[in-house]
Amino acid sequence: MIVLNNPTTFSDKESLALSIVVHVSSFLSIVGSGAIVLTYLLSSASTRSGGPNRLIFYMSICDLISTAALFIGEYVIFFFFPCFLFLDNIFL
């Protein structure tokens, strides 16, 4: 277990700026990965059969899932799954 001795706190403006940056970058990643997934699904079967195309497709699906979770945020996860509330205080 990692314990932080002196956690830094951000001001309200800094927290807002960090939140905006996270949401904008997550949105752009969702748009880009979604475009890759749609391009793969709409392509012909001969194009889909290639190994590199399939690998990029699966990586894009993983990126969609992870950035959607990042975009939604931890508060929604804690709201729907209160059993994870103990994770909030592990690193403090």
Choose between 62 and 10: higher pLDDT: 62
Q: Contact, 63 vs 84, CB < 8 A?
A: no
Write the CA distances from 85 to 73, 75, 78, 80, integer angstroms: 14, 10, 6, 10
For the cut 50, the answer to whether the pLDDT of residue 92 exceeds it is no
pTM: 0.68
Work out the average pLDDT over 56-83.
80
Domain that holds residue 56: 36-87
Asked whether residue 59 is domain-assigned, the answer is yes
Record the tokens describing residue 39, joined without a space: 């391009």
For the cut 80, the answer to whether the pLDDT of residue 71 exceeds it is yes
How many domains does the chain fold into? 1
Residue identified by tokens 């194009």 is 47
- CA 44 distance to own-chain centroid: 29
pLDDT digits (tens, 9 = 90+) for 20-67: 888 889 999 999 999 999 999 998 887 777 788 889 999 999 999 999
